[in-house]
Amino acid sequence: MKAIQRLFRTVHGLMAFLFACAALMLIAIATRMGWLAFAGSLDGAAAQAIIEAVGLLAAAVVALQIAETILEEEVVRDADISAPTRVRRFLSRFFVVIVVALAFEGLVATFKALHEDPTQLVYAASILAAVALLLIAWGVFVYLNRFAEELEPEAMADAKREDKKLK
């Protein structure tokens, strides 16, 4: 069983590495797009290119945060995700990243639709509405999960002990 657990940790480490590589590639592409927009004429097309570059940077942040979460939770801590406290903390890390990235993507889509095709505003608004629903669902989950944590105070103590592995 220990060999299988080591294999899973290795695979998780590889996944974290690949997410980090993807983030670096997105940063490089966004930097190039931004530089080309800056070096060209400073007009609406340049502004749109900068907005798209910022959208790529937001995606890079998501990839980097996912890499960090996988590395910390699955490789360094080797955490047991069955306890309510650990589930809440693990999912909250992902939700923060996803909600922020989707909100930013919704803003980018809004700017793009305003300048290129106003009929696409409906799709941009649907992204932002989905972000609002995700945020509400996450809040409800955290609220309801609090009661489960109160039933298992030892899980909170275990989670705090696991946090010491990162210091």
Q: Phi-psi region for residue 108, left (φ > 0), alpha (ψ -120 to 50) or beta?
A: alpha
Are 122 and 69 in the same domain? no
**In this predicted structure, what is the pLDDT of residue 164?**
62
Cα distance between residue 103 and residue 58, in whole Å: 10
Among the three residues 40, 59, 78, which one is the final residue of a domain in this structure?
Answer: 78
Rg of the chain, C-alpha, whole Å: 20
Residue 82: pLDDT band (50, 70, 90) is low
Among the three residues 24, 56, 78, which one is the final residue of a domain in this structure?
Answer: 78
Are 89 and 67 in the same domain? no
Domain carrying residue 53: 1-78
Are 54 and 135 in the same domain? no
Q: What is the mean pLDDT of residues 152-162?
A: 63
Is residue 122's pLDDT more than 90?
A: yes
Are 86 and 166 in the same domain? yes
- Residues belonging to the chain: 167
The pTM score is 0.71
Number of domains in the chain: 2
